[in-house]
Homo-oligomer: A and B are copies of this chain.
Amino acid sequence: MNGAHALIRTLVDAGVDICFANPGTSEMHFVAALDDVPAMRAVLTLFEGVATGAADGYGRMAGRPAATLLHLGPGLANGIANLHNARRARTPLVNIVGDHATHHKRLDAPLESDIDALASAVSGWFRRSLTTSDLAADAAAAVAAARSAPGFVATLVLPADVSWGEGGRTAAPQRHRAPAPVRPAVVREVAEALTGAGPRVLFLGGNALTERGLLAAARVSACTGARLLCETFPARLPRGAGLPFVQPLAYPPEPALAELAGTRHLVLAGAREPVAFFAYPDLPGHFVPEGCEVHLLAEPGEDATEALCALADDLAGDAIPRVSEDRRPHPPTGALTTRTLAEALGALLPPGAIVVDEALTSGVHLAAATAGCPRHDWLTLTGGAIGQGLPVATGAAIACPGRPVISIQAEGSAMYTITALWTQAREQLDVTTVICNNGAYAILDGELERVGAARDGVRARRLLDLTGPALDFVALATGMGVPARRAGTADELVDHLRWALAEPGPRLIDAVLQSATR
């Protein structure tokens, strides 16, 4: 068999059986070999940023990597923004990047570029496969690297001749590094700190954010009084009635600093020390207050859920954790604002939903309004590279075919990877996209004021304005085969959400928010 054939079989044997693809000429042997290995499902995307974002969403929900198939340096580059988000989410993910044949490189053909530099910038593991006979073992190593705790982006460069060459042999799956186990001495030390004096915070992230981990954290909180907070942008947060309500740390620096002010002991479980998203002239970037002791219960790569369970057991096995009650807002009426948007979602969120949240400023009320909904998972913009939401929703829907996906999406960010809608239509995925359409890069309005720009700076303001022309997402969705409706009031949003959730398949709602809430 040729290299491509051996590669695909090896991926499937190692548990990678989905490939989000944007192939080109150098990947044609891989494409041709798909017909030899029916267990590999290839999903076409119209842009590489959709492929990598979908692989991220898939990996977050499936807990194992999807592959991407990308076309040389430019194809990889188009996927880097969402690979950056995946890297921050610690999502296991395997990129296959086609390249020119080995003997073609020296000719500096038009598509030649420094793939290795691009790949290394965003990959936890990187290799260029050099011979057809090594290719399958390289692929097995890539999968093992991606799956090793805490989860990595692994990139394998596939020269065309290595792919088309004969003499390929499949390779057995390789072992990956499991999360490091609980360290009893550390658990004991943290338990002592949490029963000491002064305000205490348990700061959760990464693989602490499982149902078991959250319930254990809530037990710890119940018997120590420690507050629970989690990373501002968790990769995947289980939520809803019966689970503890864990507040993500605020995004703007002032409230984040206020939330942590006076903390005496900060315990990290799966999270790193909290820092500011951006620097500002007169604010600290590091959020741990002076005089606060930081305790590392479990760092990324360790088993934070087990560590939390051990900690809860050490402290008091029978404390009753505080969890969210089963309670939803009423379906709202009247004006469509960020508040009624959140209430509509809270009123109607179906059981088992996966919420992909790239609502940015329009999402301020979502967490409170949905805390008492049936259990669901919440996926966020981990790395700050906008344009993640629609692709992540696409991949999550493929990972979990039985679960409804709700994609709450700021309009400016939506446009980065809008073609994800086409893949949702082609694969008939059960994704409901709600566009939060406020006609602006609203998050930057605040930032512009913060930097002291003149309020009458019309030329600056114009760079944040998305009207003139206004984006019509009903037309855009329809143009890609996704049925869509526009909501101008809360009542319409409720009606349209009922319509969208009534049956599977992709739907889009263009939620035009009242100017008062922009």
Contact = CB atoms under 8 A, between A and B. Distances in A.
Interface of A: 21, 23-26, 28-29, 31-32, 34-35, 38, 42, 44, 46-47, 49, 73-75, 77-78, 80-81, 84, 88, 100-101, 103-104, 107-111, 113-114, 117-118, 120-122, 160-161, 164, 233, 272, 275-279, 281, 285-286, 382-385, 387, 412, 415-416, 418-419, 422, 425-426, 443-444, 447-448, 450-454, 457-460, 462-466, 468-476, 478-481
A120 B31 CA distance: 31
Q: How many copies does the complex hold?
A: 2
A351 to B, nearest CB: 29
A399 B365 CA distance: 45
Contacts of A31: 444, 448, 453, 460, 463-464
Given A25-B278, A279-B103, A279-B161, A416 B118 contact: no
Contacts of A479: 471-476, 479
A426 B467 CA distance: 9
Instruction: Name the 10 nearest CB pairs between A and B, nearest first.
Output: A469-B481, A32-B453, A475-B479, A74-B385, A77-B80, A101-B279, A104-B279, A74-B81, A476-B479, A35-B457
A256 to B, nearest CB: 12
A457 B474 CA distance: 36
Nearest to A232: B110
A447 B32 CA distance: 10
Given A278-B104, A460-B32, A460-B35, A77 B81 contact: yes
Contacts of A469: 422, 425-426, 480-481
Nearest to A47: B416
Contacts of A425: 469
Question: Which of A42, A44, A384 is most buried by chain B, counting CB atoms within 10 A of its CB?
Answer: A384
B100 A454 contact: no
A216 B450 CA distance: 59
A461 B419 CA distance: 20
A207 B78 CA distance: 29
A35 B453 contact: yes
Given A104-B279, A478-B475, A81 B78 contact: yes
Contact of A34 (B108, B444, B460): B460
A452 B31 CA distance: 11
A17 to B, nearest CB: 13
Contact of A46 (B28, B122, B277, B415): B415
Contacts of A418: 418-419
